[in-house]
Chain A
Amino acid sequence: DGGITQSPKYLFRKEGQNVTLSCEQNLNHDAMYWYRQDPGQGLRLIYYSQIVNDFQKGDIAEGYSVSREKKESFPLTVTSAQKNPTAFYLCASSPPGASSYEQYFGPGTRLTVT
């Protein structure tokens, strides 16, 4: 899982509560990403950030929010507006430039909302 940490590993919340998932990297990567993984659907991009103080919506941004105040950190907030928040959430990062395109993933956070 490299130099990307996600905490906590498991998270339980009641419906209607906002919850923030942590993602930290010490790889000095510029770009960071949040994905949602559901069984049989692969990975779907929620938000991504190419540089500090800038981020873009991915394919399924509704009900989520992010911030990028530091290069090392890209927290994801799952708001009460997200209809089906129970899922496995993965954070990733990638280095700058055109020399490398692969992404490096954290260990994930499994969120259960009841």
Chain B
Amino acid sequence: AQSVAQPEDQVNVAEGNPLTVKCTYSVSGNPYLFWYVQYPNRGLQFLLKYITGDNLVKGSYGFEAEFNKSQTSFHLKKPSALVSDSALYFCAVRDFYGGATNKLIFGTGTLLAVQP
């Protein structure tokens, strides 16, 4: 079965410092990986995706993610955190089973708290 894991419920970082939000995956075949962000009482916003190509993927709001096949990881990173980055972050993987769908399997989310 395909799955993603976000091992940290919460990540705390000071404004201006680099941030990393971790995600590991388990899939059979090539993974299609995604990061989303959710602000309080809002829907999810797409940040970036890895389908194929360069292992370093750049996305919205200065975020990037590094695909590491040997470590089965897809960590979200940003060189300099902003207080406004504080939100809930979800990693997701495409579910290949069940036919030709775009079903996604989501992790449990990581709350990012950036202190001023």
A residues in contact (CB < 8 Å) with B = 1, 4, 6, 31, 33, 35, 40-43, 45, 48, 50, 56, 88, 90, 92, 94, 101-108, 110
Contacts and interface: CB of A to CB of B under 8 A. Distances in A.
B46 A102 contact: yes
Contacts, number: 61
A101 B94 contact: yes
Given A45-B103, A90-B44, A101 B49 contact: yes
B101 A31 contact: yes
A110 B43 CA distance: 11
Given A31-B102, A42-B107, A105 B90 contact: no
A103 B102 contact: yes
Given A42-B109, A50-B100, 18 more contacts: A1-B42, A1-B43, A31-B101, A42-B90, A43-B106, A48-B101, A56-B98, A94-B102, A101-B49, A101-B104, A102-B34, A102-B49, A102-B102, A103-B44, A104-B46, A105-B36, A105-B44, A107-B43
Interface residues of B, number: 25
B43 A42 contact: no
A52 to B, nearest CB: 15
12 contacts: A1-B43, A33-B103, A40-B9, A40-B108, A90-B43, A90-B44, A101-B51, A101-B94, A102-B49, A103-B102, A103-B104, A108-B43
Interface string B76-116: 00000000000000100010001111111011110000000
Q: Which 6 A-B pairs have the closest CB atoms?
A: A105-B43, A42-B108, A94-B102, A43-B106, A105-B44, A42-B106
